[in-house]
Amino acid sequence: MPRFTLNINDREYTVEAPEKMPILWALRDKLNLTGSKFGCGIGQCGACTIHADGTPIRGCCVPIKALEGKVLRTIEGISVEHPVKESWRKLDVAQCGYCQTGQIMSAVALLDRKPEPTEEEINRAMKGNICRCGTYNRIKNAIMEASKNRIA
Decide if residue 13 touches ligand FES (CB under 6 A): no
Could you give the CA distance from residue 14 to residue 121 in angstroms, rounded to a whole number?
A: 37
Q: Are 116 and 83 in contact (CB under 8 A)?
A: no
Could you give the CA distance from residue 131 to residue 2 in angstroms, rounded to a whole number?
A: 36
Decide if residue 60 touches ligand FES (CB under 6 A): yes
- Interface size with ligand FES, residues (CB under 6 A): 23
Q: Are strands 11-16 and 55-58 parallel, antiparallel or unpaired?
A: unpaired
Q: Which region, judged by CB under 6 A, interacts with ligand FES, from 7-15, 42-50, 64-72, 119-127?
A: 42-50
Decide if residue 47 touches ligand FES (CB under 6 A): yes
| Complex with ligand FES: residue 39 or 77, whichever CB lies closer | 39
Q: Which region, judged by CB under 6 A, interacts with ligand FES, from 37-45, 80-88, 105-113, 142-150?
A: 37-45
Q: Exposure string (b/e) for 102-133, b if CB count within 10 Å is 16 or more?
A: bbbbbbbbbbeeeeebeeeebeebbeebbbee
Decide if residue 100 touches ligand FES (CB under 6 A): yes
Q: By the criterion CB under 6 A, which residues form the site for ligand FES?
A: 38-41, 43-48, 58, 60, 94-100, 131-133, 135
